[in-house]
Structure 1
Amino acid sequence: MGRILKSYIFWTYERGSFHYDVMVTLILAFIFVTPHFWNYGDHPSVGSFAPSEVVVRAAGENAFTYQIPAEQVRGNSSAPFEDRLEQSIGRISGPMVIDHYDTLKDASGKVTAYKVWAHR
């Protein structure tokens, strides 16, 4: 048993042999299975974009979602909130009708951005 384990550690088996195939299978299993059970902490952070950057995604025919940084919406505090959202979107896509919006917060509860669903 010790000799087999030593051969596995030093990878001494010939390619195509049973033990070689077992080693390759174990390595592939480790690569593809462990991310489902182990958190490597390599997820992108939410709201990590520039204060002037707006993320736009298609959400159907003539419908879009916008992720607008909170700093950009806070710019003109005298206008109503939905008007400020429309202004931010209008600079990018022209006149749009806002369907609804959600507030995006970081782990501490601070508002980082707004996700807006809009259509033409």
Structure 2
Amino acid sequence: MAKDTQVEMLTGPELLQKVKELEDHSKEEKAKACGYYTLTKSGNSRVNMMKFMNALIEAEGIQLDGSQNGNGRGGRNASFRITVQSNGNLLIGSAYTKQMNLKPGDEFEISLGRKHIRLKQLSANGEMLTDEDE
């Protein structure tokens, strides 16, 4: 095949349709035709079969990981792990704040343990919330 430009990776119904059109081709040829390849420095193409197969599974609507939040929709699930950033800050992502129904301006008291950091949510007047308040 002549040097070609990278094809956009197909997903969803477009991916399924293209695979059906190429039913008499090999898996590698299908993956490449659907855009699941990269070009090496030497100009050769390297097919990414794992990405292709995962895209096919997702396009078929199959959930291998299961749904943790029970709403049946895909997307990332919070891992309950964060990493210290290069500037020394801890950033708690929106997946956590959405799951806890937090709003901009909510305040917390930070208490440091020997091996943990605990955040205690404060009410609007600065008092700690109890389980009954939440």
Q: Determine if the TM-score, normalized by the shorter chain, exceeds 0.5.
A: no
TM-score relative to the length of structure 1: 0.27
Q: Which has the higher strand share?
A: 1
Which of the pair has the greater relative contact order for Cα pairs under 8 Å at 6+ separation?
1
TM-score relative to the length of structure 2: 0.25
Q: Which has the higher helix share?
A: 1
